[in-house]
Amino acid sequence: MIPEKQYAVQLVGPNQLVLNPQKEVFRPGPHQILAKVECVGLCFSDLKLLKQFSQHARKTQILRGLSQEVLSQIPSYVPGEMPTVPGHEATVRIIAVGEKVTHHRVGERCLVQTDYRALPTANSNGSFGYNFEGALQEYVLMDERVVIEPGTGERFLIPVPEETSASAIALVEPWACVEDSYVNPERQTIKPGGKLLVVAVPGEALKGVDELTKRYKPAEVVTREPSQTTELPNESFDDIIYFGADKSIIEILNDKIAARGLMNIVLCGKKIAQPVSVGIGRVHYGGTRWIGTAASSAAESYRHIPSTGEVREGEQILVIGAAGPMGQMHVIRSICSGAKNVSVVGTDMDDARIDALRRKADALAKANGVELRLVNTNREKLAGKFSYIALMAPIGALVASAVRDSTDRCLINIFAGIPAPTKQDIDLDTYIANRCYMFGTSGSVIRDMKIVLSKVIDRKLDTNISVDAVSGMAGAADGIAAVENRTLAGKILVYPMLHHLPLTPLSELPTKFPTVAAKLDNGKWCGAAEEELLKVAK
């Protein structure tokens, strides 16, 4: 029987998180699916939504993909200033469907893929837990017109086995976001059928441009002198090739790059000789990319774009913010990448968090022959250069320091979601000389979820290794505060059907829930502990 009301955590404005014990349980319309939430993980992205609310790139209105008429029929579609329910790392069970639902059935247990890339917003795309209500509630309504991937027909509600714990399934989502940042294909050419802008002073030899356009055939090529760039429309070019080294022109062109567009700076032997303000927030949320060459051919820059952000042989990896929940995943994935002769340095500013990571990662590093060093940068100055730098904190200055600390062909993984409008002064001379490549991904795709899910089902990956605390609805706000204050090193799981369970670190289970503690797997969260918690914490 579906209740009329439910417990839910709602975000009603910036920094305004409330526990609502009387939120309506929506009944599914003809195209809709009602699911009961088994488990949901808390994420640093929930905190970004808490701070930015309607200004978050994923909380704004859907621009294309579904008509406004269809969107208006979905009560869980809540863009802009409308209250939302956060929570996007979820395991759910379908309990009711509308009469026109054809791809889903009652009783199915599912992993929720949250990233609706076919439904673009101004600077990102629609997403479960943002402009569509998420899983920090007992029951969540979804629409089949949203949760079926256009073209492929694949489901965003991915069926999962009964025997796998809800926690292990829910944590596939953050691990899939990490996976996406390594396996997402990078465009290595000008965009076929795209719009190309070429900017150069009169008489400049446009080396490489004919080669590129003949091979990849952009639909439109626009040529302008530097003085003619100001009036060009913003965010309108898929590729921009600039022959020159003028800081002011580069900063103007920065705003002309379209989503998933590419900026190519051809220095022709010159130096910019001063930092340049670069839109680094759009690298993560907008998929923009920056390349360049100190030489004179525009084609040269494209040759150095990696096919993906995958770890390479001999990589010297730096993970900044390594001891937080997502940083731990990056460290563990790097250690287990299979690439030879890899070393990993992880930094954090808290000894307790570093110790927690060391307990999880040391044995894996030894088993995989990876040199691992964990550094508290409050007490030890980090030295050295790195070929792969992954950033877990949404701080623009870290991107600038990553360029400074780069080696040749350094990959700079801007994993943390720096707000889309953010710009940062970057030493582009060093960036170009070192053939650096900064990239970022937001969320994941079904492919990534299935890769990680298969590892979990085959017991090649235990996502529960990330868990540090559990909670019911009463402790969810405290859990988000713990994420903000970095008081716990690992992931926090919320079980919405447990209304009154406060935030409970695993270390406190022996005194608060001894029978649950007895079920832990050598101190680690597991299915048996989850089952016991659901029995005793009601």
pLDDT digits 0-9 by tens, 213-246: 999 999 999 999 999 999 999 999 999 999 999 9
For residue 318, name the pLDDT band (cuts at 50, 70, 90): very high
Rounded mean pLDDT, 502-514: 97
pLDDT band at 44 (very low <50, low <70, confident <90, very high): confident
Residues 25 and 154 in one domain: yes
Q: What is the CATH number of the domain that holds 291?
A: 3.40.50
**180 and 116, same domain (yes or no):** yes
In a domain, 292, yes or no: yes
The pLDDT, as a whole number, for residue 443 is 84
**Helix ranges (DSSP H) in 22-171:** 44-52, 68-72, 166-170
Tell me: do 285 and 258 sit in the same domain.
Answer: yes
Nearest 5°: the CA angle 28, 30, 36 is: 25
- Give yes or no: residues 280 and 222 share one domain: yes
* Rounded CA separation 374/360 (Å): 12
Residue 416 lies in a domain: no
Q: What percent of the chain has pLDDT over 90?
A: 92
203: pLDDT strictly greater than 90: no
Q: Are residues 134 and 9 in the same domain?
A: yes
Residue 275 falls within a domain, yes or no? yes
- CATH at residue 64: 3.90.180.10
pLDDT value of residue 489: 83
Q: Dig out the tokens for 127 from the structure.
A: 């997403």
- Nearest in space to 46 (alpha carbons), one of 21, 10, 76, 1: 10
518 shares a domain with 449? yes
Residue 389 resides in a domain: no
Token couple for 133: 């209500």
β-partners of residue 425 are: 277
- The CATH number assigned to the domain holding 346 equals 3.40.50.720
* 155-193: pLDDT as tens digits: 999 999 999 999 999 999 999 999 999 999 999 999 999
CA dihedral 122, 56, 414, 345 (to 10 degrees): -170
Is there a single domain that holds both residue 27 and residue 146?
Answer: yes
Strand partners, 215: none
Q: Do the domain assignments include residue 372? A: yes
The C-alpha atoms of residue 385 and residue 315 are separated, in whole angstroms, by 11
Strands 386-391 and 316-320 come out as: parallel
Residue 402 lies in a domain: no
Indicate the SS3 state at residue 513. Answer: coil
Same domain? For 374 and 507 the reply is: no
What is the mean predicted confidence (pLDDT) over 435-453?
Answer: 94
pLDDT of residue 1: 84
Average pLDDT over the chain reads: 96
Strands 89-97 and 157-159, how do they pair?
Answer: unpaired
Give ∠ CA 484-56-253 in degrees, rounded to 5: 120
Q: How far apart are CA 152 and CA 410, in angstroms?
A: 35
The amino acid sitting at 345 is: V
Q: What are 94-153's pLDDT values in tens digits?
A: 999 999 999 999 999 999 999 999 999 998 899 999 999 999 999 999 999 999 999 999
Do 291 and 329 share a domain, yes or no?
no
Give the mean pLDDT of 69-95. Answer: 97
User: Do residues 156 and 212 share a domain?
Assistant: no
Residue 64, sorted as left (phi over 0), alpha (psi -120 to 50) or beta, turns out to be: beta
Residues 224 and 296 in one domain: yes
Containing structural domain, residue 230:
195-305+423-434
Taking every pair of Cα atoms in the chain, the longest distance, rounded to a whole number of angstroms, is 79
pLDDT at 199 over 90: yes
* 454, two tokens: 């298969």
Q: Mean per-residue pLDDT for 456-477?
A: 94
The pLDDT confidence band at residue 45, using thresholds 50, 70 and 90, is confident
- Is residue 388 domain-resident? no
| 110 part of a folded domain | yes
Number of domains in the chain: 3
268-277 pLDDT tens trace = 999 999 999 9
Q: What is the mean pLDDT of residues 17-21?
A: 96
**End-of-domain residue from the set 365, 399, 434:** 434
What's the pLDDT tens digit per position in 251-285? Answer: 999 999 999 999 999 999 999 999 999 999 999 98
The helix or strand, by DSSP H or E, that contains position 433, with its residue range, turns out to be helix 428-433
Long-range contacts of 357-360 (CB under 8 A, 24+ apart): 357/322, 357/323, 357/327, 357/328, 357/331, 357/489, 360/328, 360/332, 360/465
Same structural domain for residues 100 and 161? Answer: yes
Residue 245 CB-density burial (10 A; 0-12 exposed, 13-18 middle, 19+ buried): buried
Q: Is 469 helix (H, G, I), strand (E, B) or coil?
A: strand
Q: Give me the pLDDT at residue 477, please.
A: 94
Q: In angstroms, what CA-CA distances link 274 with 106, 250, 278, 369?
A: 61, 12, 12, 41
Phi, then psi, of 471 in degrees rounded to 5:
-160, 160
